[in-house]
Amino acid sequence: MVRIAIIGCGIVGASIAFELSKFPELKVTVFDKQPPVQGSTGAALGVLMGVISHKTKGRNWHLRETSLQRYETLIPELEAATGRKIPFNKQGILLLCSEGEDLSKWEKLAATRKSQGWKLELWEVEQVREFCPHLDLNHNIIAGIYSPQDRQVDPTTLTLALVDAAKLNGVNFQFGVEVQGIKSGQDAHPTTNSLSCGTGILPVTENSTNPTINLISCGTGILPVTEKFDRLIVSAGLGTAAVTASLNQLVDIRPVLGQALHLRLKNPLGNPDFAPVITCDDIHIVPLANQECWVGATVEFPENGGEVQANAEMLEEVMARAIALCPALAEAEIIRKWSGLRPRPEGRPAPIIEALPSNSKVFIASGHYRNGVLLAPATARSIREMILQ
């Protein structure tokens, strides 16, 4: 039996837990200082921009392709196991190109996708108008790029379903447990490290024969003193830096804030038989059930490395640009406004999926920036392969 500890239960941590739960030889426990989807996952729009992205090779495309393929089976699998209905928009993404856009790059991308077995269509303005009569295409829109195999999923419902399904497979979830860091214990013993967890200490015993992580009660969670783990997976988003810093292996992840809106419309929006996600210049209009939609999102960086404060003017600008594309939004009721901090690696590409260089028993699955929901299934599969190799 290999005992696994996962720190963090957003979409990435929950996906890893569910993936590992399928293997009887693995005993998985997940720790989080909050209930699920309280962090960046709860503020995501769930737009899965894979085929329509300009990543065509290497790790970034492989992760996207793997996730898109897995989502087609994952959603029905979770619904059958848990009884939850997971909102999953399979009508694709329609990207509107503004004046000055180089359409030749889209033609090249469409050809590449065809060779890879994926579809990407270039639409003239009249075709966009035919399928989406609710859009105002007089604002310098010159074409549409339709990606029928990209998706959108509700991140909150999905994460809760992953947790439920993992529980059914025997995963133990400990919420209310905050892991604050990993502290060197060399003063006491040259082969011992410890994880600081709330008010408790998690000793990490490294030796050549049986490296384990011993846990005691910490925070508000209840952990048996004798609990031991063989592997540690850190999927704590912005908390990853604190957990790893004291191992003298800082994983530098910094916050980027995003704000979005949840709207209720007076009348059905556009063609009821064709409701893809609409995106233009990084503004997303995400159709939902019951004449509702999401609009987002801002991209707000911290100033001078400090905390990010939500900028109301930036959210107003997002809404104004969305209304310019879809005038019916001007009469919509704002149900709520929300924001979240996205974990962005500093000085290296997102995401980070690797064993910690200073400790081969510690794995990092974090720093997904704006693609946590998109890349969660592929991340889970990558971690599974590392654990089972």
223: pLDDT strictly greater than 70: no
Asked if 13 and 366 touch (Cβ cutoff 8 Å), the reply is: no
233: pLDDT strictly greater than 90: yes
pLDDT digits (tens, 9 = 90+) for 117-141: 999 999 999 999 999 999 999 869 9
pLDDT digits (tens, 9 = 90+) for 71-128: 999 999 999 999 999 999 999 999 999 999 999 999 999 999 999 999 999 999 999 9
CATH number, residue 245: 3.50.50.60
> How far apart are alpha carbons 334 and 315 in whole angstroms?
12
Contacts of 208 (CB under 8 A, 6+ apart): none
> How far apart are alpha carbons 45 and 342 in whole angstroms?
12
Strand partners, 295: 261, 285
Q: Count of CB atoms within 10 A of residue 54's CB?
A: 12
Give the H or E element holding residue 262.
strand 253-264
pLDDT digits (tens, 9 = 90+) for 285-308: 999 999 999 999 999 999 876 789
> How far apart are alpha carbons 319 and 324 in whole angstroms?
9
Domain contains 269: no
Instruction: Kindly provide the b/e burial profile for residues 333-351, where b requires at least 16 CB atoms within 10 angstroms of the residue's own CB.
Output: eeeeeebbbbbbbeeeebb
Domain contains 351: yes
> How far apart are alpha carbons 348 and 367 in whole angstroms?
10
Domain with 248, as residue range(s), is 1-88+152-252+346-389
Domain contains 107: no
Domain contains 187: yes
Q: What is the radius of gyration, based on Cα positions, of the chain?
A: 22
Mean pLDDT for the chain?
Answer: 88
Asked if 222 and 354 touch (Cβ cutoff 8 Å), the reply is: no
pLDDT digits (tens, 9 = 90+) for 245-273: 867 788 999 999 999 999 999 999 888 89
The percent of residues in the chain predicted with pLDDT above 90, rounded, is 75
As a whole number, mean pLDDT of residues 353-359 equals: 91
Picking from 93, 98, 68, 120, the residue whose alpha carbon sits closest to that of residue 274 is: 93
Asked if 249 and 361 touch (Cβ cutoff 8 Å), the reply is: no
Strand partners, 197: 179, 200
pLDDT number for residue 247:
72
Domain contains 367: yes
The percent of residues in the chain predicted with pLDDT above 70, rounded, is 87
Domain contains 327: no
Count: domains in the chain: 1
The answer, as to whether pTM is greater than 0.85, is yes
pLDDT digits (tens, 9 = 90+) for 162-211: 999 999 999 999 999 877 655 433 333 333 344 544 434 454 444 334 44
Phi-psi bin for 65: left (phi > 0), alpha (psi -120 to 50), beta? alpha
Domain contains 316: no
38: pLDDT strictly greater than 90: no
Domain contains 145: no
Asked if 144 and 96 touch (Cβ cutoff 8 Å), the reply is: yes
> How far apart are alpha carbons 300 and 313 in whole angstroms?
11
Q: Look at residue 121 and give its three-state secondary structure.
A: strand
